[in-house]
């Protein structure tokens, strides 16, 4: 999945029981709930490994 700002790759970022998507180029963070419908299969599989709640 790509960043809306700079086209960098969004990666899963976990901080203090919260999961978000963070761009590896511009470091912008996206709330997982705002982008969840656009997640690709690779990211969905990675999220299964995290124990934080997604709300």
CA 16 vs CA 4, 13, 20, 52: distances in Å: 25, 10, 11, 9
Structural domain harbouring 2? 1-55
d(CA 23, CA 4): 9
The model's pTM: 0.67
Q: How many domains does the chain have?
A: 1
pLDDT category of residue 50 using cuts at 50, 70 and 90: low
- Stretch among 2-6, 41-45, 51-55 having the lowest mean pLDDT: 51-55
Please identify which residue in the block is written with the tokens 């124990």.
51
What does the pLDDT look like over 24-46, one tens digit per residue? 999 999 988 777 777 767 777 77
Q: pLDDT: is 12 or 37 the higher one?
A: 12
């Amino acid at each position: 999945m790509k960043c809306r700002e700079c086209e960098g790759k969004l990666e899963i970022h976990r901080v203090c029981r919260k999961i978000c998507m963070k761009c590896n180029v511009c470091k912008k963070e996206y709330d997982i709930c705002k982008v969840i419908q656009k997640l690709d299969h690779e990211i969905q599989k990675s999220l299964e490994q995290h124990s934080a709640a997604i709300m």
